[in-house]
Amino acid sequence: MPTAAPALPLHQRRRPPTAAELDGIPWLRLLQPPERERAIAHLSVGDAHPGEFVCRIGRPVTYWFGVIEGLLKMHTDSAQGQTMTFTGVPPGGWFGEGTALKREAYRYNIQPLRNSVVAGLPVDTFHWLLDHSIGFNRFVMNQLNERLAQFIAAREIDRLANPDVRVARSLAALFNPVLYPGVGQVLRITQQELGYLVGLSRQRVNEALATLEAEGAIRVEYGGLRILDLEALRSSGKPLAVLGSSAAHD
């Protein structure tokens, strides 16, 4: 159940990050000492709760955001009130670089699925790093490239009728080591949260996870899922002829 809304909005509850929280930011280690010092001086974190908006459609971009702890979902709502979820954002994931680059208003909502710790880098500092840091530029370029592939895959997932395949492909997206380096081999997620991301009931997600576990692709553990065969998740539902053709070109 969503927690009660805090008295102060998220941006007014921001605080400096702890040393442990800084260790969870993957791009900091790519910076030169003066660049890192400037970035840390401008970074802030906040505790976001279910029901709050980290980003909201139509609002101007002020920060580039990342997840230190928890799980967020990126989504939009249609005029008919239907929600379309684009992706989940687990720990280690940073998002919104395209919006920050163009200094545009957000075209999607970002909300926590559970209590989460969210980091923010002011958009002006984001652009300063782009102007001064080769390592930061490479990180952002890799983000943009992986994000494009992710959204192409998300469109394909939306058209899949097989719930087991939808769950498998959605899980594979959450284990992307480039976009979400903080996940590792275990994703802390509940069946209800996965259902929100995939657009299925908790009961149907449970059935799909049981199937994937029987196939040896995952192992359900207390509080999360352990990946055993990431390639099996990624290729779930694809024709064997396509897989063979792909392997022949590797």
Quote the number of domains for the chain. Answer: 2
| 226/193 Cα distance (integer angstroms) | 16
What is the overall mean pLDDT for the chain? 86
**17 and 139, same domain (yes or no):** yes
Say if residue 133 is in the same domain as residue 9: yes
For residues 81 and 3, state if they share a domain. Answer: yes
Residue-wise pLDDT tens digits, 34-46: 999 999 999 999 9
Q: How confident is the model at residue 241 (pLDDT cuts 50, 70, 90)?
A: very low
Report the candidate in 192, 199, 147 with the shortest Cα–Cα distance to residue 173.
Answer: 147
Closest C-alpha to 110, from 52, 181, 44: 52
Q: Name the pTM for this structure.
A: 0.81
| Measured torsion, CA atoms of residues 230, 234, 236, 238, in degrees rounded to the nearest 10 | -140
Domain termination residue (choose one: 120, 136, 159) = 159
Integer-rounded Cα radius of gyration of the chain: 18
Output the furthest CA–CA distance in the chain (Å, rounded): 58
State the average pLDDT over residues 195-221: 92
Per-residue tokens: 235: 């290729």
The predicted model gives 200-221 an average pLDDT of 93
Which pLDDT value is given to residue 184? 80
Six-digit token pair at 90? Answer: 């687990």
